[in-house]
Structure 1
Amino acid sequence: MASELLQLLVDGLTIGVVYVLLAAGLSVIFGVMNVINFAHGELFALGAYFALALIAPFGGSAFFVALFVAPLLVGIIGVGIERFTVRPLYGRNPLYHILLTFGLVLVINDLIYLIWEPGSVTLPLPAVLSGSITVLDVTASVYNLFIIVFGALMAVAVWAMFEFTKYGLIVRAGAQDRQMVRNLGIDIDRYYSLVFGMGAALAAFAGIILGGYQTVNPTMGMSVIIPAFVIVVLGGLGSFRGAVVGGLFVGLVQTALRTYAPIFEGTGIFVLMIGVLLVRPHGLFGTDAGEEHAGNLLSGPRGGFLDPQTRTRLGLAMVGLLALVPLGAGTLYSTYAVTLVIEIIIWGLFALSLDFVMGYTGLVSLGHALFYGLGAYAVALGLSHVSQSAFVVLALAIVISAVIAWGIGFLSIRVSGVYFAMITLGFAELFYNLLGQLEFTGGSDGLFGLSTYYGLAGVGVELDEIAVFLGPVAITGQSLFYYIALAALVASFLLTRRMLNSPFGAVLKSIRENEQRATFIGYETTVYKRRAFVVSGALAGLAGGLFTLNAGYATPSLVDWLNSGEVIVMVILGGMGTLYGPVIGSGIFFGLEELLTGFTDRWRLVLGTIFVLFVILLPGGLVSLPSRLAPALLGAPGRGPNPEPEPESNPDPEPATDVDDAHTRGDD
């Protein structure tokens, strides 16, 4: 028994040390710069691939050279990322860093595929790190012991650098008051670039040593970024001590679950993170310092330069044009156009649902795909066990999604900002892992072979059995479903717009403008945000249900965190806080995807670059572009995309915590 525990300890520490290096880089960047770096996993993967490129010509003997050269190269890339993409966002809400770095995830991941191709490769190791050692009936490979020792030394070195060097003193001072340091004649911007580069280098170190332990593949960054965020959230964003404790703890917990309860391996750490955040909303060692200084989320134009009547006419014209799409299918263009626009409509509804809560209350849900997947599975299971009526199962999807959204909102809205985004991500990942394990959901394969009819109580028809003739054009099958989806989108838009024009909506808008002031005048803002979250979840469930009715299946991939990221991309592309902007964003997203896939398989590279540029240059989205161009086009003053001035390109960030716990505000 003792030898088993010792073996578990060695294995747990091996993966735990990798997590420490990965999470330490995230924590250092956030603690000093208040930047949430979602591209950290891709920098982790870049480190492994750079090492592979350096080792391949010489074999394992070049491992130690690559172990230090590759992180240096990734660190230089990190400096470039900070200087040209992150720096313009200082002074904005930290959630913009999540949006920006999600775009960088698409760019870097596609670059890895482009340069190194798919597939897994083993990282060659030197002979000195091969073999194993047995002590007290515990067998450990030499490489595992190397990981533990090397990782521990790296963590101590980073801590000592911030604690005892002049560089660390300047960085800590800049984290507390950047302008004061600048007034002393110190170029603090250069130091911050180096901090980002160092965090990237730490990720590269982790990628290299894990690449030698497992394999190197293009998906390795995406597979570790979620556990990395779990660790930093557990420990407290910005807390170096929290990253170390959280990394080791998660490594040991995962190893123990894999050994004794493999069924809980995928869900255990998310349950742990959610539990910690519910008890300590800022993690074990984190604080809420600096949250009150975070910038606002920038929404699209509130009215624009067009009068309401003109905007209404444009909206009706757009709906009219969409209604004409099935009429030309098969003659003017391929019938695939109907399939594509259905996808745009469904995702437009999904994006609208997120905008209702994100654009009007500032709650950024990184796990919104949870409700999309809930709606899809509610329809699939409803068709299999309750009724084959499309109307019944859609109603079931809406109700179930609303109820689950209320429960998650009740638990999650007590935390705010970045922590809210992370706890919703935790719930989504928990649901994703459960779907892959439960037998009645079809496990990892999902549910297929579903059939339905449109009617009630057994009275109805299948869409393929009927046809509506408009002159020479017959509308049947998927073309009829097209109008059902379009009607659902229009009805949802009108419903949410009516809500926003009601007293309930007025409170939501006041929360968006200034939540603290709304609280002071007597509104219980938490209740209103929870209600908005329920409406948002219900509409996302409706979108997921429509997907399953159209596609005829539901799989766990619908809940993948990338779907949550992509729907945020659509909201920002179109224009947050406008309802119609996210629908436009959905059309742009899938339109660009369709256009780019005709030229290259690496369409995410181009799309990610466009998204990065939008976050930096046009945070109000496409709907804010006419207002910006109005002065030039009409020779008259135009409204900016926001009711407040844009932040300066490089104002002082307000860091939440210091990188060193001994100097973190309120940590001791």
Structure 2
Amino acid sequence: MIGGILQQLVDGLTIGVVYVLLAAGLSVIFGVMHVINFAHGELFALGAYFALALITPFGGTAFFAALFVAPLLVGILGVAIERFTVRPLYGRNPLYHILLTFGLVLVINDLIYLIWEPGNVNLPTPAILSGTIDVIGLNASVYNVFVIVFGAAMALSVWAMLEYTKYGLIIRAGSQDRQMVRNLGIDIDRYYSLVFGMGAALAAVAGIILGGYQTVSPEMGMSVIIPAFVIVVLGGLGSFKGAVAGGLLVGIIQTLLRTYAPILEGMVIFLLMISILLVRPRGLFGVEMEEEGGELLTGSGGVLDDRTRKWVGLAAVGLLALLPLGAGTFYSTYTVTLAIEILVWALFALSLDFVMGYTGLVSLGHALFYGLGAYAVAIVLLHVSQSAFVAIGLAIVISAAIAWVVGYLSIRVSGVYFAMITLGFAELFYNMLYRLEITGGSEGLFGISTYYGIAGVGIALDEIGLFLGPVALTGQSLFYYIALAALIGSFLLTRRMLNSPFGSVLKSIRENEQRATFLGYETTRYKRRAFVVSGALAGLAGGLFTLNSGYAAPSFAYWLHSGEVIVMVILGGMGTLYGPIVGSTVFFGLEEILTDFTPRWRLVLGTLFLLFVIFLPRGLVSLPARLKPLVTRDSGPGAEPTPDDSHMRGDD
């Protein structure tokens, strides 16, 4: 028994050291630059694939050379990423860095698929690292011992560099007061590039040694990025010591739970993360950091007056109402199926915009409520009632109730900490879906049937046939109108709220929460209410998807969906309500067009999103106002400043 536990501890230390190297780079980048780098996991994967490309022609004997060359290449790539994508965002709200690096995730991950193809590949290692040795009575793998020793040496070297060199002194000073460093005549921006490159190189080293321990695959980056965030939150954002302690702790806990309590493996670390954020947001070893300035850039009203915009909106609704009538004649019936998906995700995006665009709360875990609504509908239909009205009503109520609980806990923290705690709740829910019997585990829930009525009186949509001349509306066509009505109703409801005194307070919180507090408003209560409304609408969207598709799966709550809905909000225009609807249409429209040419459509979409975040952060709805001066050859009121104007550079 004791020998087994000791063996698990050694295995846990092996994984823990990998986490240390991964989280150390992530933590140092945040500590100095206040950038939460979601693309860190993809740089981790790139390190493994670069090493694979270097080792394959020569065999395992080239492993040690690759362990030096591949991180150097990834480090150079990291410098380029900082210089050309991250640097233009300095001075904006730090949450734009999250959005930018999420776009980089889409780009780099699809590049990996494009170059190396899917599937697991073994990373060859030299013969000297094979076999086992006896260590303090344990029969340990030579490679495990190498990982622990080499990783510890790397971590110690980075710590010594940060503590005892001039470069480290400047980095530490810059993390405390970057303006003071500038006043001393030091080009801190150049050091930012080096820090980002060093963090990328550390991630690459971690990817290589883990690739030799397990296998190399395109999904390896996405599988480690969330645990990496857990580690830096536990240890303290910006703390190197915290990254070491957190990495070892998470590695050991994961390994022990995988062996002795697998049902808890994916949940305990997220419970730890949430607890730490609630009790000590700066983590175990983190220090208090001043919140970065910069506003969230919302979409402008465009060039149309209110009356014209109203008529354009009515015309758009009229055209949408006609869409099913042309299916099968002017275009494929699949168009209706695609339109339903766009409407459902438009509602999901609108729900996020209500809390992000109007209250300034960026939720990285909004897929929690989408998945919750989907599973609530599925479970009610399977175990309570087959009435669609009962199922969707309960889904909204349950989503609102859970949103209140999550909001009550999460809104105690702000900024990037709020974003991280919502991500923690979503990942906790995502892991629970795989382990609870009532959710169907990894297979989800299928075979759902429903009727539209109540108390056993009603009819299924497939049994209805409405004939308008030669056109028959049934099944999917009828559900299209249900989804359209839900979106329009939600739009009108949220617009009414935002035009009320309640909405005015939300906007004032977004602009300046401290000033709203001074005016006597209890801002926490208003933000919680907005979060509840947002969660209920996201639950409605998830419930509608399940009503239409007849199934619910754990992937509905995957963190990537939270990122995708943020992409839609930013593409369309945050803080407009109709912008996210435009963003959803563009997102799925581009996906549909691009998939005809390449399965790597996220590469193009991610690139487009990067350009939007950097050059058009107010979204497509602001494009007419940006183009108006070019058309009229003046710089009238329609023009808006470029994102990197000096007044936005709060750290200068």
| TM-score, normalised relative to structure 1 | 0.95
- On the 8 A contact 2:92/2:649 being kept in 1, the answer is no
- On the 8 A contact 1:569/1:611 being kept in 2, the answer is yes
2:635 is aligned with 1:648: no
Counterpart amino acid of residue 109 in structure 2: N
Structure 1: runs of 5+ lacking an equivalent? 656-668
Q: How big is each residue's C-alpha offset from its partner over 1:516-548, in whole Å with a ceiling of 9 and x where there is no partner? A: 100011101010000000000000000000000
Write the distance in 2 (CA, Å) between the matches of 1:344 and 1:649: 38
1:74 aligned residue: 74
2:253 is aligned with 1:253: yes
Counterpart amino acid of residue 575 in structure 2: G
SS in 1 for 2:119: coil
- On the 8 A contact 1:43/1:200 being kept in 2, the answer is yes
Write the distance in 1 (CA, Å) between the matches of 2:46 and 2:83: 19
Write the distance in 2 (CA, Å) between the matches of 1:493 and 1:237: 38
1:496 aligned residue: 494
2:19 aligned residue: 19
- On the 8 A contact 1:33/1:653 being kept in 2, the answer is no
2:294 aligned residue: 295
1:649–1:262: structure 2 CA closer, same or farther, 3 Å change rule? Answer: farther
1:268 offset after TM fit, Å?
A: 1.2
Counterpart amino acid of residue 230 in structure 2: V
Write the distance in 1 (CA, Å) between the matches of 2:484 and 2:46: 43
| Equivalent residue in structure 1 for 2:572, among 571, 574, 578 | 574
Write the distance in 2 (CA, Å) between the matches of 1:639 and 1:624: 13
1:113 aligned residue: 113
Larger mean Cα displacement after TM superposition, 381-390 or 67-76: 381-390
2:43 is aligned with 1:29: no
1:282 offset after TM fit, Å?
A: 2.1
SS in 1 for 2:285: coil
1:450 aligned residue: 448
1:660 aligned residue: none
Larger mean Cα displacement after TM superposition, 644-653 or 115-124: 644-653
Q: How big is each residue's C-alpha offset from its partner over 1:168-188, in whole Å with a ceiling of 9 and x where there is no partner? A: 122223333434434444332
- On the 8 A contact 1:87/1:650 being kept in 2, the answer is no
2:286 aligned residue: 286
1:147 aligned residue: 147
SS in 1 for 2:617: coil
- On the 8 A contact 2:351/2:535 being kept in 1, the answer is yes
2:167 is aligned with 1:171: no
| Equivalent residue in structure 2 for 1:526, among 524, 527, 536 | 524
Write the distance in 1 (CA, Å) between the matches of 2:445 and 2:636: 51
- On the 8 A contact 1:378/1:397 being kept in 2, the answer is yes
SS in 2 for 1:139: strand
Write the distance in 2 (CA, Å) between the matches of 1:647 and 1:526: 31
- On the 8 A contact 1:131/1:142 being kept in 2, the answer is yes
2:266 aligned residue: 266
Alignment of structure 1 residues 335-414 onto 2, 5 Å: 335-414=333-412
- On the 8 A contact 2:364/2:559 being kept in 1, the answer is yes
- On the 8 A contact 2:12/2:248 being kept in 1, the answer is yes
Q: How big is each residue's C-alpha offset from its partner over 1:630-667, in whole Å with a ceiling of 9 and x where there is no partner? A: 1122345444687x874438986759xxxxxxxxxxxx
Counterpart amino acid of residue 81 in structure 1: I
1:561–1:319: structure 2 CA closer, same or farther, 3 Å change rule? Answer: same
Alignment of structure 1 residues 132-211 onto 2, 5 Å: 132-211=132-211
Counterpart amino acid of residue 8 in structure 2: L
Q: How big is each residue's C-alpha offset from its partner over 1:270-321, in whole Å with a ceiling of 9 and x where there is no partner? A: 1111111111122212234221x332211111x3332110111111111111
1:57 aligned residue: 57
Paired positions, count:
652
1:54–1:449: structure 2 CA closer, same or farther, 3 Å change rule? Answer: same
- On the 8 A contact 2:179/2:651 being kept in 1, the answer is no
Write the distance in 2 (CA, Å) between the matches of 1:438 and 1:274: 21
1:149–1:648: structure 2 CA closer, same or farther, 3 Å change rule? Answer: farther
1:427–1:654: structure 2 CA closer, same or farther, 3 Å change rule? Answer: farther
1:93 aligned residue: 93
- On the 8 A contact 1:129/1:146 being kept in 2, the answer is yes
SS in 1 for 2:186: coil
Counterpart amino acid of residue 529 in structure 2: R
RMSD: 1.6
Q: How big is each residue's C-alpha offset from its partner over 1:523-578, in whole Å with a ceiling of 9 and x where there is no partner? A: 01010000000000000000000000110100001001110000000000000011
Alignment of structure 1 residues 319-334 onto 2, 5 Å: 319-334=317-332
- On the 8 A contact 1:179/1:652 being kept in 2, the answer is no
1:310–1:634: structure 2 CA closer, same or farther, 3 Å change rule? Answer: farther
- On the 8 A contact 2:368/2:426 being kept in 1, the answer is yes
2:613 aligned residue: 615
1:389 offset after TM fit, Å?
A: 1.0
| Equivalent residue in structure 1 for 2:503, among 489, 502, 505 | 505
Write the distance in 2 (CA, Å) between the matches of 1:57 and 1:105: 28
2:593 aligned residue: 595
Write the distance in 2 (CA, Å) between the matches of 1:457 and 1:176: 64
Write the distance in 1 (CA, Å) between the matches of 2:490 and 2:596: 33
1:468 offset after TM fit, Å?
A: 1.4
- On the 8 A contact 2:120/2:215 being kept in 1, the answer is yes
- On the 8 A contact 1:28/1:240 being kept in 2, the answer is yes
- On the 8 A contact 1:46/1:112 being kept in 2, the answer is yes
- On the 8 A contact 1:71/1:202 being kept in 2, the answer is yes
Larger mean Cα displacement after TM superposition, 222-231 or 468-477: 468-477
Write the distance in 2 (CA, Å) between the matches of 1:650 and 1:229: 32
Write the distance in 1 (CA, Å) between the matches of 2:476 and 2:14: 53
Write the distance in 2 (CA, Å) between the matches of 1:121 and 1:269: 28
Write the distance in 1 (CA, Å) between the matches of 2:310 and 2:38: 38
- On the 8 A contact 1:290/1:654 being kept in 2, the answer is no
Larger mean Cα displacement after TM superposition, 85-94 or 136-145: 136-145
1:62–1:176: structure 2 CA closer, same or farther, 3 Å change rule? Answer: same
Larger mean Cα displacement after TM superposition, 282-291 or 555-564: 282-291
1:3 offset after TM fit, Å?
A: 2.6
Q: How big is each residue's C-alpha offset from its partner over 1:70-105, in whole Å with a ceiling of 9 and x where there is no partner? A: 000000000000000000000111111110000000
Write the distance in 2 (CA, Å) between the matches of 1:650 and 1:197: 28
Counterpart amino acid of residue 173 in structure 1: A
Write the distance in 2 (CA, Å) between the matches of 1:640 and 1:235: 47
1:6 offset after TM fit, Å?
A: 2.3
Structure 2: runs of 5+ lacking an equivalent? none
Counterpart amino acid of residue 495 in structure 2: R
SS in 1 for 2:91: coil
Q: How big is each residue's C-alpha offset from its partner over 1:455-481, in whole Å with a ceiling of 9 and x where there is no partner? A: 111111111111112222111110000
Q: How big is each residue's C-alpha offset from its partner over 1:143-167, in whole Å with a ceiling of 9 and x where there is no partner? A: 1011111111111111111111111
- On the 8 A contact 1:378/1:545 being kept in 2, the answer is yes
Write the distance in 2 (CA, Å) between the matches of 1:2 and 1:546: 52
Write the distance in 2 (CA, Å) between the matches of 1:641 and 1:78: 34
Counterpart amino acid of residue 142 in structure 2: V
Write the distance in 1 (CA, Å) between the matches of 2:66 and 2:639: 47
- On the 8 A contact 1:29/1:238 being kept in 2, the answer is yes
1:244 aligned residue: 244
- On the 8 A contact 2:48/2:211 being kept in 1, the answer is yes
| Equivalent residue in structure 2 for 1:559, among 526, 542, 557 | 557
1:442–1:638: structure 2 CA closer, same or farther, 3 Å change rule? Answer: farther
Q: Which is bigger in relative contact order (C-alpha 8 A, separation at least 6)?
A: 1
Write the distance in 2 (CA, Å) between the matches of 1:167 and 1:385: 63
Larger mean Cα displacement after TM superposition, 549-558 or 3-12: 3-12
| TM-score, normalised relative to structure 2 | 0.98
- On the 8 A contact 2:294/2:648 being kept in 1, the answer is no
SS in 1 for 2:287: coil
Write the distance in 2 (CA, Å) between the matches of 1:101 and 1:585: 19
Q: How big is each residue's C-alpha offset from its partner over 1:383-437, in whole Å with a ceiling of 9 and x where there is no partner? A: 1111111111110110000000000101111011111111111111111111111
1:299–1:368: structure 2 CA closer, same or farther, 3 Å change rule? Answer: same
